[in-house]
Amino acid sequence: MKIEKVVLRKLKMDLKFPFQTSFGTSEGREFLITEVYGENHIGYGECVVDTKPFYSEETVQTAWHMMRDFLIPFLFQKEEILHPNEVRDIFRKVRRHNMAKSALEGAIWDLYAKEQGKPLAEVIGGEKKQISVGVSIGIQKTKEDLVEIVGKYLEQGFQKIKIKIKPGKDIEMLQAIRDQFGDIPLMADANSAYTLDDIHLFKQMDPLHLMMFEQPLAHDDIIDHAKLQEAIKTPICLDESIHSVEDARKAIELGSCKIINIKIGRVGGIAEAIKIHDLCKENQIPVWCGGMLESGIGRAHNLAITSLDNFTIPGDTAPSARYWEEDIIQPEIEMNEKGEIELSAKPGLGYEINQGALERYTVSTETFLKSKLQTEK
């Protein structure tokens, strides 16, 4: 691939509903789309940042800065990229900024797959033709509201219900769902809202037989999680704590979790996501694909990695209509009544860009040309 041009776009899209987690409420998303121009195709990527550094330290502005001033110049310094696996090395000098790196890397994977004329899932060795889907439900005001929403999603066919929890909005909420719907596949995501002082609470929740507690303790911890896992039966799943295959290796060695949530943006790209998937598979640690309220572009990347065989737990990869009045891809991503999404058989991400929608949601753009590169970084 000879990359001569990259376009960055900032988009603003309203969510159909406010999404509340233990760290805040989102009414919509501001994020970045990357377009990487090869000789015959354009690859698309999504940078899953937010305006606020509350889930991770990156923001819309830090990602733009990293891409403009470091990552894009590094790409342009290469005469040619033969395989997307090279991108990790090209970006290696930049510490962290995984969401920024991933946005460009993902576009290069799409471009590569389009040049090969194959679906991205096939290019990365994914064999599933359809994937199982769950839904992530934000914190609700009352148990009654929550039970009603869960009922609606179960009716639509979702194969896993994940609810967000925080202190004071946990055991009662989960118990209400169990009372109403029995033994459904149910899990809880705390986004780091608890500490080891809350061990008694987790022990109290053990009899609810949840599929897992996602990231109960600090966002950067793997030691206390091992202590908590030792004390409870419900599996712990790590999200925020895992940024690389090395992090995953250490967490597995310590016994900090029994399941890992893989988010492409959080780990710096598809190549690293695959490494984590493979390591987990060797260690009998099931994985599932997390979500960052993506637009269709990021969502299509998520579907592609979920085609790998150790993604055995339904992910947070709900269809477009759960989030958006109108998505930026065509056709939109749809789920059948069994809670499955059919993978596209078309090359690359497998969806067309809805150019009108993309333009309407774009609030700013910047174009970078290799021919204009003058930086020495």
Measure the CA–CA gap between 67 and 107, rounded to whole angstroms.
13
Of residues 239, 247, 272, 294, which one binds Mg ion by CB under 5 A? 239
- Residue number of the CB closest to ligand OSB reads 291
- The single-letter code of the amino acid at 58 is E
Check binding of 55 to ligand OSB (CB under 6 A).
Answer: yes
Partner interacting with residue 55 (select from Mg ion, ligand OSB, none; CB below 5-8 Å by kind): ligand OSB
DSSP classification of residue 119: B
Q: Are 157 and 337 in contact (CB under 8 A)?
A: yes
User: Is the CA virtual torsion 152, 133, 347, 106 positive or negative?
Assistant: positive
Q: 5 and 368 in contact (C-beta within 8 Å)?
A: yes
Q: Are 30 and 245 in contact (CB under 8 A)?
A: no
Task: Tell which residue, 282, 296, 288, has the closest CA to residue 259.
Answer: 288
- By CB under 6 A, is residue 102 in contact with ligand OSB? no
Q: 345 Cβ partners below 8 Å, 6+ apart?
A: 119
Whole-number minimum distance, CB 75 to Mg ion, in Å?
A: 30
| Residues 266, 42: Cα–Cα separation, whole Å | 24
CA separation for the pair 368, 98 (Å, rounded): 20
| CB-closest chain residue to Mg ion | 239
Q: Using the rule CB under 6 A, is 13 a contact of ligand OSB?
A: no
Among 189, 221, 247, 294, binds Mg ion (CB under 5 A): 189
Report the residue number, 37 or 55, with the smaller CB distance to ligand OSB: 55
- The site that binds ligand OSB (CB under 6 A) totals a number of residues, namely 11
Q: Which residues are part of the catalytic machinery?
A: 164, 263
How buried is residue 343: exposed, middle or buried, by Cβ count under 10 Å (0-12/13-18/19+)?
buried
CB of 114 to ligand OSB, least distance (A): 25
Quote the least distance from Cβ 152 to ligand OSB, whole Å.
Answer: 15
Q: Of 61-69, 192-200, 288-296, 305-313, which segment contacts ligand OSB by CB under 6 A? A: 288-296
DSSP state of 207: G
Which residues 123-142 are close enough to bind ligand OSB by CB under 6 A? Answer: 136
Query: Which is nearest to 34 in space by CA: 25, 45, 23?
Result: 45
Under the criterion CB under 6 A, does residue 293 sit at the interface with ligand OSB? yes
CA-based radius of gyration for the chain: 20
Residue 288 as a binder of ligand OSB (CB under 6 A): the answer is no
> Is residue 297 within the footprint of ligand OSB (CB under 6 A)?
no
Q: Is residue 191 close enough to count as binding ligand OSB by CB under 6 A?
A: yes
Asked if 247 is part of the footprint of ligand OSB (rule: CB under 6 A), the reply reads no
Residue 318 touches ligand OSB, criterion: CB under 6 A: yes
Told to check if 189 binds ligand OSB by CB under 6 A, we report yes
Binding mask 62-101 for ligand OSB (x = CB under 6 A): ----------------------------------------
- In the three-class reduction of DSSP (H, G, I as helix; E, B as strand; rest coil), residue 242 is classed as coil
Q: Which spans of this chain sit near ligand OSB (rule: CB under 6 A)?
A: 55, 136, 189, 191, 239, 290-293, 316, 318
